[in-house]
Amino acid sequence: MHKSKIVIKIGTSSLASSSGALSEDKLHQVVTIVSEAMEAGHQVILVSSGAIAAGYERIGYPVRPETTKAKQAAASVGQAILMNAYQEAFMKRGIVSAQLLLTKQEIIQEASYHHLQNTMTELLQRKVLPIINENDSTSIDELTFGDNDHLASLVSGFIHADYCILYTDVDGIYDKNPKLDRSAKRIRTITASELEKRSDIDLRGGSSQGTGGMAAKLHAALQASGMGASVFIGKLDQRIPSLVETTINGDGPGTYIISDQPVPLRSKKQWIAFHSPVSGELTIDEGAVNALLSAGKSLLAVGILGSSGDFNSGSTVIVRSSDASVIGKGRVRLSSDELNQQLTHKMKSPSPVVIHRDEWISVNDTYRERMTEHDFTIHE
């Protein structure tokens, strides 16, 4: 039997009681499901929500808090409670677990991104279970992942997971809202490229206790599949024996989003495509567009019509064709000052490489859903 690398995301609704507090029974159900997968020989990474649920009652809130400061206070207390509960339960199964609390800062900084990747690889090789959550107690709006679905998809990418499993309290994706329309049909299997084109899929399912919802899960699914993982969105049903094994064998209670990315992006290209902050833009001529998109060549200064932004060598920039269409992103080998001098005075001959092919991502290399204008905000 093939042993897989699996990211399992557990949402708040799968850990909380009806009052919104942490449920020990539900937590032990999660531990059983994850332990069974590890005991079967799979490498598992658990992305778990639940810190706020674990902490809010302990510090005197009568209901789950709504304000940012209250949520962060509850999370700072609850994360230790949640992790202790996980560690004790997994130790009873003979499994050592490790806690990793992340903010977006660890992802967008290339050095910390690779350190995190190395740490995760070492933990998996040592048969340790990494338990990951966003660092809710210190995250600020600009550096949040937004939801743990998104975080799970990013983790799936940089550890090159075979599967990204998003367990929730609904049994998959429907073409209509099944709570309102009895004719709604569950979509059993769909490719990522087909999912992007569907306009009939209902996005309103999900629990009020979590932050993601179905729209977040679909976005995460496209992102994870764009990095090579097959994605499952479905119900955390502890009644199904060996649930994770059943899920990866194609019989899980939910929807499968199949990656049709032919070759997963290498780690360096993943970072450039999905995580690196953008510092500027280049506009290139038709010959350079053909060289990048069709001929598999690097971008030379001679093909650049103009640039904007203040960037250094090693920065990531957007690249546009002469009609302003975005064709991709890449890491430059010249600063904006050096490039402008080259464009103005044609200082070097032969023309220098501005973006090497190994540091270039075209819209044909990944899904267009991830290469939108929103992803190309220039960071000052």
Q: What is the pLDDT of residues 47-93, one digit of tens each?
A: 998 999 999 999 999 988 888 889 889 989 999 999 999 999 999 99
168 has binding-site annotation = yes
Both 179 and 293 in a single domain?
no
Listed residues 232, 267, 302: the one ending a domain: 267
Query: What is the pLDDT, as a whole number, of residue 368?
Result: 42
Averaged pLDDT of the chain:
85
Query: What is the pLDDT, as a whole number, of residue 188?
Result: 94
- List Cβ neighbours of 48 (8 Å cut-off, separation of 6 or more): 9, 10, 15, 30, 82, 86, 131, 132, 133, 148
Query: What is the pLDDT, as a whole number, of residue 140?
Result: 52
Residue 349 has pLDDT above 80, yes or no: no
Domain that holds residue 356: 276-376
Query: What is the pLDDT, as a whole number, of residue 264?
Result: 63
Both 38 and 184 in a single domain?
yes
9 has binding-site annotation = yes
49 has binding-site annotation = yes
- Residue matched to tokens 């850990």: 15
Mean pLDDT (whole number) for 136-158: 72
329 has binding-site annotation = no
Beta bridge partners of 326: 320
Both 252 and 330 in a single domain?
no
Query: What is the pLDDT, as a whole number, of residue 375?
Result: 44
| Domains of the chain: total | 2
Both 156 and 65 in a single domain?
yes
148 has binding-site annotation = yes
User: What's the whole-model pTM score?
Assistant: 0.81
Both 253 and 347 in a single domain?
no
No. of helices (H) and no. of strands (E), the chain: 12, 16
pLDDT class of 193 with cuts at 50, 70, 90: confident
Query: What is the pLDDT, as a whole number, of residue 263?
Result: 61
310 has binding-site annotation = no
Residue 308 has pLDDT above 90, yes or no: yes
